[in-house]
């Protein structure tokens, strides 16, 4: 397991806060209120470990395949439905949405190899990520990856807690399946918009792993 580069500053700040709080408490109160010092140490340690865990990148054997759409993130499938995309395709698409809780790994991966033909950031609201309107009204970043005659839109969506979406791609980039697409800090959602008729390999409420679980077969 490694730590994602997006977490360096957050972990450093959390470590500083952890140190300052506990040094101050033990310096001033350890003689008279030792139990408060110990309780504060445990609480702040749990918080620090949570921050470190949030930015973890586990070692995994990736699933690769020319005709496969692999999960772009860890989480739970909360939507599988046909929808009309008004951002890029302007036609019906098959939507698969994955909700990421704060406990999930939050690095986002390319679901397939191909060329980036669209990349657009949208300001928006911070509705809870499972709200159906979050797909079109929340802060989000959309990328379309084209492989041969197939185009797949990957939409990173901020939730009520997530306040920063990071996307590493640019129009014209040649990307590899399973490589980093971006990162969303502290809880969020990722939508996949697939061609109509695509075979879906997951079900509602199924837990998936980024880079490993096969979402669909093209």
Q: For residue 173, what are its two tokens?
A: 């980039």
Q: Closest Cα to residue 37, out of 50, 20, 24?
A: 24
Per-residue confidence (pLDDT) for residue 12, from 0 to 100: 94
Using the structure block, give the residue that is written with the tokens 């590899």: 176
Query: What amino acid positions are annotated as catalytic residues?
Result: 188
**Mean pLDDT of all residues belonging to the chain:** 89
Confidence (pTM):
0.84
Between 214 and 139, whose confidence is greater?
214
| Nearest CA among 13, 191, 204 for reference residue 85 | 191
Helix runs in the chain, H state only? 8-29, 34-54, 134-137
What is the CATH topology of the domain spanning 68-217? Glucose Permease (Domain IIA) (2.70.70)
Question: pLDDT tens, 197-211?
Answer: 999 999 999 999 999
Using the Cα atoms of residue 70, residue 9, residue 135 and residue 207 in order, give the sign of their dihedral: positive
β-bridge partners, 125: 138
Q: Give the C-alpha separation, 23 to 20, whole Å.
A: 5
- 3-class DSSP state of 155: strand
In the numeric block, the tokens 């929340």 are attached to 138
What does the alpha-carbon distance between residue 211 and residue 148 come to, in Å, rounded to a whole number? 21
Residues 124 and 139: beta-carbon distance below 8 Å:
yes
The predicted model gives 11-20 an average pLDDT of: 93
The tens digit of pLDDT for each residue in 143-181 reads 999 999 999 999 999 866 656 789 999 999 999 999 999
Cβ neighbours around 46 below 10 Å, total: 10
Domain coordinates of the chain in residue numbers? Answer: 2-57, 68-217
């Amino acid at each position: 397991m490694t730590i994602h580069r997006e977490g360096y500053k957050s972990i450093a700040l959390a470590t500083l806060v952890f140190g300052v709080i506990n040094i101050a408490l033990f310096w001033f109160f350890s003689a008279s209120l030792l139990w408060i010092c110990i309780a504060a140490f445990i609480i702040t340690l749990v918080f620090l470990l949570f921050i470190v865990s949030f930015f973890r990148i586990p070692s995994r054997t990736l699933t690769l395949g020319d005709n496969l759409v692999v999960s772009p993130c860890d989480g739970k499938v909360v939507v599988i439905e046909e929808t009309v995309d008004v951002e890029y395709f302007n036609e019906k698409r098959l939507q698969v949405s994955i909700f990421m809780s704060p406990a999930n790994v939050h690095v986002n991966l390319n679901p397939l190899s191909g060329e980036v033909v669209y990349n657009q950031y949208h300001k928006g609201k911070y509705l809870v990520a499972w709200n159906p309107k979050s797909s079109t009204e929340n802060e989000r970043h959309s990328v379309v990856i084209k492989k041969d005659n197939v185009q797949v839109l990957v939409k990173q969506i901020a939730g009520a807690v997530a306040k920063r979406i990071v996307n590493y791609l640019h129009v014209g980039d040649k990307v590899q399946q399973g490589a980093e697409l971006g990162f969303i800090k502290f809880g969020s959602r990722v939508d996949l918009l697939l061609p109509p008729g695509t075979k879906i390999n997951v079900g509602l409420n199924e837990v998936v792993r980024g880079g490993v679980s096969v979402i669909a077969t093209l």
